[in-house]
Amino acid sequence: NPITTTRPGVFVSGAFQGPMDIPESVFSASGASSQSGEFLDYRRGKLSKERIYPPEKDVSQEEPRVGVFVCHCGANIGRVVDVPSTVEYALTLPNVVYATEQLFSCATDSAESITETVQEKGLNRVVVAACSPRTIEPLFRDTLREAGINQYYFEMANIREHCSWVHSKEKEDATQKAKDITRMSVARASLLQPLQEIDLPVNRAALVVGGGIAGMTCALSIANQGHAVYLLEKD
């Protein structure tokens, strides 16, 4: 198996296997992903417990009470953007009743602090000024759920990729831009409406077309992850 190594749970793909073009790299990466899924199968089913959240409070008729959390992101933001000044500015914005700075907002203790602050200060909107929402937005939405607030009352201001990383030599301008981005996020947060997610049944079965070596390997990997597989071969 060219994807496995001498150490269980460590897989290689692409150029780590040797000279390889892009399509082959994609194929081998898919294989590594599938075999990683086999290792993670224990997280599914009986061993995967459903998290229990507190009842969701209806705040739709309340005036917006926005909390702003500005992240230093270590030195990624803090060495360029004047974070304390950004926090002070956030406190002057309409509907903002609380603002603070955090060294790493995504750290476990910081996330728990956001949950506690939402409850203590009676916040019904949260803005985190940090990095890309593609990276850790689900984590922050989860902090709202832990506080009993609809997760879609959350807004993220990207002051790292959109600000400190592209204006690293323009600290004053970067700070002003961080304030602008934060102001826009607060304005959006004040207009947010709660949304509800819907669970739909999923047919957890796979169809593999082609019963050659690749098809059989794929089918076995999916089966090893606890799913029914239909393997189709022309003969």
Q: What is the pLDDT of residues 35-76, one digit of tens each?
A: 898 888 777 665 446 778 999 999 999 999 999 999 999 999
**Rounded to an integer, what distance in angstroms lies between the CA atom of residue 207 and that of residue 230?**
5
**Rounded to an integer, what distance in angstroms lies between the CA atom of residue 137 and that of residue 159?**
14
Q: Are strands 205-209 and 228-232 parallel, antiparallel or unpaired?
A: parallel
Q: What is the CA radius of gyration of the chain?
A: 23
Termini Cα distance of the chain = 26
Bridge partners (DSSP) of residue 59 are: none
Task: Please answer whether residues 121 and 97 qualify as being in contact, where contact means their C-beta atoms are separated by less than 8 angstroms.
Answer: yes
Task: Please answer whether residues 127 and 189 qualify as being in contact, where contact means their C-beta atoms are separated by less than 8 angstroms.
Answer: yes
Residue 49: predicted pLDDT:
60
Question: pTM here?
Answer: 0.73
Q: What is the pLDDT of residues 110-156, one digit of tens each?
A: 999 999 999 999 999 999 999 998 889 999 999 999 999 999 999 99
